[in-house]
Each structure stands twice: as C-alpha cells, then as structure tokens.
Amino acid sequence: MSPLLGAARPALTMLTEEEQMFRDAVRDFATTEIAPRVLKMDEAQQIDADLIPKLFEMGLMGVEIPEKHGGAGSNFFTSVLIVEELSRVDPSVAVLVDVQNTLVINALLRWGSEPVQARYLPRLAADTVGAYALSEAGSGSDAFALSCRAARSGDDWVLNGQKLWITNAREAGLYIVFATVDPEQGYRGITAFLVERSRPGFGVGKHEDKLGIRASSTCELVLQDVRVPAANVLGEVGKGYKVAIETLNEGRIGIGAQMIGLAQGALDHTLAYVQERKQFGRPIADFQGVQFQIAELATQVEAARLMVYNAARLKDAGQPFMVPAAMAKLFSSEVAQRVSSVCVDLFGGYGFTKEYPVEKLYRDAKIGTIYEGTSNMQKQTIAKSLMGD
C-alpha cells in the first residue's frame, strides 16, 4: 500500500460518506492543479493568477454562502476539510481560501443585513476575494488599540488610517476594515466597514517579504479620506469588537485546519522518503529509531485533527466553541512546527534544501503560532475560561 494511503491518513469513521467524497475531490484538485505550481509560487511570492478562478469554479471560495446567492450552501466543517486538504499541498493557497470562508463570509453571514448579503455574497461566491483588515502597527495582540479612524460625513463614513499584515490584500476586491468612530469609547468605539477596493483613496501598499507562506499576500493597506456608505457598516456602529472577536473564534479553527493539513503533508512526504532512502544496505524505515519517530508524529497529528474537527462540529451544532477553538489552534500550531521539524531531520541533508517539499512546510509552519491570535493569547483565553473569568 502506498504510504500516502496508509496508516497516516485520518480515520474515515470521522467523516460521512458525502464528506469523504468531497474531501477526495479537493485532494485530487490540490494534487493536479496546485502541486505543480507550489515551488514557483513560493519563489515568486505570489499565487498563480490562473489558479484563483479555478478555486471559484470548484466552489471552494463560497462554501457556506447560501445557494440562492450562488454559493455551495454547505457548513463550516466543510470549510475546515477544504483548508486541511489544500494545506497538505500548499498552506499559502489554503490560507487564501480560509480567510475567504472562515472570516469574511462568516462575518457577512452573521452580521450583514439582507441588502448587504444580496450585494456582496454573490460576488464572493463567483469571483471576488475577500480580506479581513484588523491589525495595525500598534494593535497586534492588543487588537482594539486602533489608530484607524472613521468619521461621519452626511450619509457616508470617511476612513483614514493604515492597516498592516493583511492576508489576501493583493488579490482582494472587498475588505472588512475595522476603525474607531470614538477613541474615548475604547473598544466600544470600534466599527466594522465593508470597503471595496475601487473606493477613491484606498490603496494596497507594501508587500511583506515573509519567512513562510510566501505565496500568500500580506500587505499594508492605506486609507486616505475613503468614503464608505453608511449601509456598508457591518453589524452596528460601535459593535465592531463583537464582529472581530466572534469571527476570530471561528477563524482560529480554520488556522487549526491549516496546521493539521501542513503537518499531514510533511508526514506523507516523509513516509514515502524513509521507505526509499537506504543507509547501511536497507531503507531507513526499517530502523526502529525512525519507526518510533514516525509513530509519535502520526499520533500527534491525529490528536490535533480530533481537536480541530471537534471545534468545527461544535460550531456547526450551535454549541459553545470558543475554548475548544483556542485549544485546537494552540495545539495544532505547535504540532505543525514539531512534525515539520522532525520531518526535515528524517530527510537529513536533503531536508535542508528546496529540492524537497518539507523545507517549505517547515517554514510555513511558523506562522501558526502567531496569526489569528498568538499562542500566548490562546493560553490566556483557555486559562480565563477555566478560572471562570
């Protein structure tokens, strides 16, 4: 049996027959359409423009959008499966899809008025990439220390400020931008706005030169007197903190899916390699020291997968999932770093070169403990919940 289909694959009993079929279709797409482009996209620091329309054609960019708006009408768990499978091949492509579904679309489905949903959801399902613009130079873990300002002007709001480290910034046509309408109100002044790229005064600035997920665009946004219709307030004025917190709780499950997919991809490559690589006259897979490491890695990946799947199922069931999401994100990001590191070790000198894919996956893994809430922030969320704060 091929190592890619062997014991390292997730237990099929965790998925329904329909979910298995969908997962397999995404896996085939990732293998045929994404895998041949990975190296060049990483070197170019840009997702192949021809690939993005294919993601829309596959229905991967509007998973939870209702069918009446042109989406797949599926659930959050399906989004998680997609992100996991894409991440096995390229976490850069996966995070583009992840931000689209677990952040942008989820926020619109929960907080958008019917006219707003009718205006933007069909575009997000058909051809428009979305981005989520919260972070600034002075607001990382302190997410609501925003300097971006919004002031009322007639029937519009006028936005001024700068956003940093915005995923999908280069490809997006629609941005959820968080700004404060009253600094004296603190977090209660934060408001979420839907800003179209074509708005005068809106610009995409510096592209960050990153360690990993290099094909994923991470850019600065500059807003200079950008006028946004009052109808484009997402949720209510002063309630942007709720939009951000609740959406990020869901987004962390998506990052967990990215990390388990990445770890599984590294493990798949390593399983194949250790059975091909010979030392002392036999495959290194025959050595007990290698076997024990493989067993430990596979166990860690499966444990992380169970945590991510559990959090996603809870979300779909309407059950509390904030702490399970934080735990899943914390654990899976640590597992991804650990697994990819050991996989590089098992490849030996080859693992340190770009000729083999584990080097890239090792670089890609680092971001998991940083974005959408650092590991320390996840620990704080978990601890406060346990202590009843």
| Catalytic residue set | 372
The C-alpha atoms of residue 147 and residue 187 are separated, in whole angstroms, by 12
- Single-letter residue type at 298: A
Closest CA to 222 of 195, 241, 245, 247: 195
Q: Which of 166, 100, 88, 80 is nearest to 364 (CA)?
A: 88
